[in-house]
Amino acid sequence: MTQMVEIEPPVPSAAVTRRPRSVTGSSRGQSRTAAWMILPAGVLILVFVLVPIALTFGLAFTDAKLISPTGPRFIGVENFSRLFDDPVFWKSLRNTVIFAAVIVPVQAGLALGLALLVNVKMHGVTFFRTMYFLPVVTSMVVISLLWQFMYQQDGLINAVLARIGITGPDWLGNKDTALLAIIVMSIWQAVGFHMVIWLSGLQTIPGELYEAADLDGVSNRQKFLYVTWPGLRQTATFILVTITIAAFALFTQVQVMTQGGPLDSTSTVVFQAFRAGYTQQQTGYAAAIALVFFALVLAVNLIQRYLTREKDA
Amino acid sequence: MSASATTSTGDVAAPAPHAVVPARANRSHRGPSTGRLVWRWVVRIALTLVFALPLLFMFVSSLKPDTQIFGDLTSVRAFLPVGDISLDNYTGVFGRVPFWRFLANSVVIAVATVVLGLIVNSMCAFALARLRFRGRSLALGVIIATLIVPFETLALPLLWWVNLLPYYDGSTGWLDTYEVQIIPFVANAFSIYLFYQYFASIPKELDEAATVDGAGRFTIYRKIVMPLAGPAIATVAILTFLPAWNQYLWPLMVVQSEELRPVMVGIDYFKQLNTSWGQIMSYASLITIPVLVLFVCFQRSFINSIASSGVKG
């Protein structure tokens, strides 16, 4: 299909007959049509993406307030020095990093396990895929409320634990278990998503490789190590990066379930930015926090770029 | 990236991805032992329970009074619609909040975002993929570059910004409108990217033949390319609908009036009215069941869309 695009037989003959006007006319016409077709998306991206990105950088160095009679005033790095002096910020950053550090390997690993489990051609396997995917299409707000209910001291989870002789804590009310509770729920919600990504990676591995491996009589474990895993490297990088970035952006669960508590044990960077920029209406300070979040995301992207470049070379 | 680009269009286009699943279990005559196969089935079924039971618990609890929900927790009755079953919780929801209004708001917002997004993004992608003009690669580069900036980075500066934008009636500020919940999300770099890849894979001869027949560029877009883009349209529609339906952070900040509130912010607000858990579970069920039904009906399209999002970056 790609080669066909590069061959353009009809153009020369058509151009020969009508060269003087049609060539310039059509390319000018194309430019004009292109401009009109790009205009709506272009304006929207400019106003609602590019300008806000520039504002994030700009406002972080001002005292901008959400509602203020005077405009933003330049205050240098004051927001950042205030932020770095704020113990809640360091707690939020720590929680965000812990959340990501646990979620990334556990969720990626479990998702791969699920994918291998349903990557068979067999009647009924679609049913399991659908079931594992149900939480992904359910809203995070609903899931947070449902699990908040289940995590109560006298809730479903402790009732189940009690049957096997464990007295469960007040999961979300205890500063030692609240973040863990959010981690478990978040994995439950999103693991089906990454199962599907792993599956599409698995399906790009040519079946002949497995046939060859069978002929050589290799074990299942060797098949995984030498055929499956090398074929999944690109998928793996993608999955690790998307889970990490999504983990850094942790907000909804915290807002619905704990409001950052108890004792800031579940506060996160994005939650703190929300509280600063919305609840306290300090847009400048929130922009500074957002920049810290963006720095985390950018770091992950650069690491990914570095890793994939090394592989290509 | 070019390699993954081809796979993605392949994924979007492939009508039956199940056909390409490497059928390891069937092909290998030295497959896993019977014990192993049984064990795998046990694991699959156990996992189904892990993912489905909390959701089942939600639906079942929505039919019971709170005293019975808590009474049933210690037995399997927690997951069975038995005992004092009624729709009282649902009546309670409708009595306390304008639920249908919230639902209508969410439907309007999600449908408008999807429909406008399909038009605006496909048009932009058509120009980028199939027309020649100056600045084409720059425009494409800028759009792709914005993909690495998560919404959470710019949410708070954007909140400040939309508060300053002129509104069509001559006033300033978009807060507390439908528009502010729709317009910022219409143009979407990832949708443009998905359309771009799909359009680039359609042979250009089609355009040339149509041009010879006197069709303009816009006619080619509308009458030739778009009718061929069904799979890409489905993918973009699903990937736009889910976040639009589920969005929480943004409407939480920009909507104050009850009559503009979408369902997800509505449920959070509903919970703060100190309602019973049974009623919260009813509300949660009401906004979850329609999406789950849609998902189960279009299970394959949903999963393919998610899989094709896996080639991002």
pLDDT at residue number B304: 84
Query: In terms of pLDDT, which residue wins out, B51 or A312?
Result: B51
Please tell me whether residues A52 and A175 are part of one structural domain: no
User: Helix axis angle, A87-118 relative to A125-137, nearest 10°?
Assistant: 160
Q: Is residue B210 within 8 Å of B274, Cβ to Cβ?
A: no
* Nearest residue of chain B to residue A140 (CA atoms): B246
* Nearest residue of chain B to residue A300 (CA atoms): B148
* Cα dihedral sign, B253-B254-B260-B262: negative
How do residues A26-72 score in pLDDT, each as one tens digit? 677 788 889 999 999 999 999 999 999 999 999 999 999 998 888 89
- Looking at the domain assignment, is residue A271 inside a domain? yes
Please tell me whether residues A19 and A87 are part of one structural domain: no
Assigned token pair, A55: 């504002």
Domain spans of chain B, in order of start: 95-277+284-309
Please tell me whether residues A123 and A180 are part of one structural domain: yes
Other residues' Cβ atoms within 10 Å of the Cβ of residue A13: 8
- Looking at the domain assignment, is residue A229 inside a domain? yes
Closest CA to B243 of B164, B309, B163: B309
Q: State whether B123 and A44 contact (CB < 8 Å).
A: no
Report percent pLDDT > 70 for chain B: 88
Residue among A203, A238, A287 whose CB faces B157 most closely:
A287
Closest CA to A239 of A112, A149, A131, A122: A112
Contacts of A273 in chain B (CB under 8 A): 152, 155-156
d(CA B34, CA B40): 10
Q: Strand, helix or coil at A62?
A: strand
Contacts of A35 in chain B (CB under 8 A): 133
Please tell me whether residues A27 and A113 are part of one structural domain: no
- Looking at the domain assignment, is residue A126 inside a domain? yes
Please tell me whether residues A171 and A52 are part of one structural domain: no
B11 touches chain A (CB under 8 A): yes
Please tell me whether residues A54 and A102 are part of one structural domain: no
Q: What is the CA radius of gyration of chain A?
A: 26
Assigned token pair, A276: 């600063």
Rounded to the nearest 10°, the torsion over CA B288, B289, B292, B293 is -160
Q: State whether A255 and B146 contact (CB < 8 Å).
A: no
Containing structural domain, residue A230? 80-312
> Does the pLDDT at position B20 exceed 70?
no
Could you tell me which residues come within 8 angstroms of residue B102 by beta carbon, excluding any fewer than 6 positions away?
A: B261, B262, B263, B266
Contacts of A2 in chain B (CB under 8 A): 6, 201
d(CA B313, CA B262): 32
pLDDT at residue number A191: 96
Q: How far is B254 from chain A (nearest CA, A)?
A: 9
CATH number of the domain within which A161 lies? 1.10.3720.10
B86 touches chain A (CB under 8 A): no
- Looking at the domain assignment, is residue A204 inside a domain? yes
DSSP state of A169: -
Q: How far is B269 from chain A (nearest CA, A)?
A: 10
Please tell me whether residues A303 and A172 are part of one structural domain: yes
B76 touches chain A (CB under 8 A): no
Count of residues making up chain A: 313
B37 touches chain A (CB under 8 A): no
Q: State whether A273 and B152 contact (CB < 8 Å).
A: yes
pLDDT at residue number A86: 95
Query: Bridge partners of B172?
Result: B166
Contacts of A121 in chain B (CB under 8 A): 18, 21, 23, 25-26
B306 touches chain A (CB under 8 A): yes
Query: In terms of pLDDT, which residue wins out, A277 or B35?
Result: A277
Contacts of A220 in chain B (CB under 8 A): 32
Could you tell me which residues come within 8 angstroms of residue B193 by beta carbon, excluding any fewer than 6 positions away?
A: B125, B143, B144, B147, B312
How do residues A119-144 score in pLDDT, each as one tens digit? 988 888 889 999 999 999 999 999 99
Please tell me whether residues A9 and A107 are part of one structural domain: no
Query: Residue B30 — very low, low, confident or very high, per pLDDT cuts 50/70/90?
Result: low
Closest CA to B262 of B78, B80, B107: B107
Q: Is residue B153 within 8 Å of A294, Cβ to Cβ?
A: yes
d(CA B119, CA A38): 11
> Does the pLDDT at position B166 exceed 60?
yes
Q: State whether A41 and B248 contact (CB < 8 Å).
A: no
B145 touches chain A (CB under 8 A): no
Identity of residue A197 = I
Rounded to the nearest 10°, the torsion over CA A297, A301, A307, A310 is -150
**Between vectors from CA A192 to CA A188 and to CA A198, what angle results, nearest 5°?**
135
Q: Strand, helix or coil at B310?
A: coil
Phi, psi of B229 (to 5 degrees): -95, 20
Residue among A14, A45, A287 whose CB faces B189 most closely:
A45
Contacts of B277 in chain A (CB under 8 A): 149
**Between vectors from CA A46 to CA B197 and to CA A25, what angle results, nearest 5°?**
65
How do residues B245-298 score in pLDDT, each as one tens digit? 999 999 999 999 999 999 999 998 899 887 899 999 999 999 999 899 989 898
Assigned token pair, B231: 């799979």
Chain B interface mutation, best of A28, A48, A279, highest count of B Cβ atoms under 10 Å:
A48
pLDDT at residue number B31: 62
d(CA A97, CA A94): 5
Other residues' Cβ atoms within 10 Å of the Cβ of residue B15: 9
Other residues' Cβ atoms within 10 Å of the Cβ of residue A255: 22
> Does the pLDDT at position A6 exceed 90?
no
Q: State whether A200 and B307 contact (CB < 8 Å).
A: yes
pLDDT at residue number B310: 63
Query: In terms of pLDDT, which residue wins out, A30 or A162?
Result: A162
Average pLDDT, chain A: 87
Burial class (CB in 10 A: 0-12, 13-18, 19+), B172: exposed
d(CA A140, CA B90): 21
* Nearest residue of chain A to residue B120 (CA atoms): A41
Please tell me whether residues A45 and A179 are part of one structural domain: no
Residue recorded with tokens 């919780």: B89
Q: Strand, helix or coil at B260?
A: helix
- Looking at the domain assignment, is residue A270 inside a domain? yes
User: Helix axis angle, A156-163 relative to A140-150, nearest 10°?
Assistant: 50
Residue recorded with tokens 């690491």: A303
Q: How far is B184 from chain A (nearest CA, A)?
A: 5
> Does the pLDDT at position A12 exceed 80?
no
Closest CA to B279 of B25, B125, B64, B116: B64
- Looking at the domain assignment, is residue A31 inside a domain? yes
- Looking at the domain assignment, is residue A98 inside a domain? yes
Report percent pLDDT > 90 for chain B: 62
> Does the pLDDT at position B23 exceed 70?
no
How do residues B83-110 score in pLDDT, each as one tens digit? 889 999 999 999 999 999 999 999 999 9
Identity of residue A303 = I
Q: State whether B18 and A234 contact (CB < 8 Å).
A: no
Please tell me whether residues A39 and A174 are part of one structural domain: no
Burial class (CB in 10 A: 0-12, 13-18, 19+), B51: buried
Which range has the worst mean pLDDT, A1-15, A92-106, A259-273, B22-36? A1-15
Classify each residue of A123-153 as buried b or exposed e, where b means 16 or more C-beta atoms within 10 Å of its C-beta.
eebeebbbbbbbbbbbbbbbbbbbbbbbbbe
* Nearest residue of chain B to residue A146 (CA atoms): B58
* Nearest residue of chain B to residue A275 (CA atoms): B156
* ipTM summary value: 0.85
Chain B interface mutation, best of A26, A131, A185, highest count of B Cβ atoms under 10 Å:
A131
Contacts of A205 in chain B (CB under 8 A): 22
Average pLDDT, chain B: 86
Please tell me whether residues A55 and A84 are part of one structural domain: no
Contacts of B184 in chain A (CB under 8 A): 44, 48
* Nearest residue of chain A to residue B303 (CA atoms): A196
Please tell me whether residues A223 and A133 are part of one structural domain: yes
Superfamily designation of domain B95-277+284-309:
MetI-like (1.10.3720.10)
B27 touches chain A (CB under 8 A): yes
d(CA B138, CA B121): 17
Residue recorded with tokens 């899931």: A143
> How many structural domains are present in chain A?
2
Q: Is residue A134 within 8 Å of B289, Cβ to Cβ?
A: no
HSE (side-chain half, CA atoms, 13 Å) at B14:
21
